Amino acid sequence: MDTDRVPDGWYEESDPEFIDRKYDPRPVTVFRHVDHGATLVAMPSEPNTEHAETDTYRLAVADEETSNFGDVEPFAEVRGDDEALDAAETFAAAYNAEGGGDAGIEAGKRAVADEQKTDRE
């Protein structure tokens, strides 16, 4: 994924060791907030199997730095990795505007939901 669009204060964790791409080459992208330690993950929703919807990505967030996907709370699904990056950008911008923390996470979730609603209309 082209991550140049992620707002200031966020960075992509390069090649996270905890992601095993041995059986699934689809991208899993992990973003971290520089100051607040929040973790934002864009990952495939379904396993890479013959009968799965393999183009759907899930966005999930944790209010702290984590490498455990059990700690991240899924909040949106989108079609395709570009759309996942767009949603991550929307989330990060709203998070920053709210000043981070729990309020920033809720603002980010709302912004992504609003964007998805607008796209459907």
Its pTM stands at 0.82
Q: The tokens of 95 are what?
A: 């998070």
Q: At residue 2, does pLDDT exceed 60?
A: no
Of all residues in the chain, what percent carry a pLDDT higher than 70? 79
Residue-wise pLDDT for 48-104, tens only, equals 666 655 688 889 999 888 877 778 889 999 998 889 889 999 999 999 999 999 999
Alpha-carbon gap, residue 73 to 85, rounded angstroms: 17
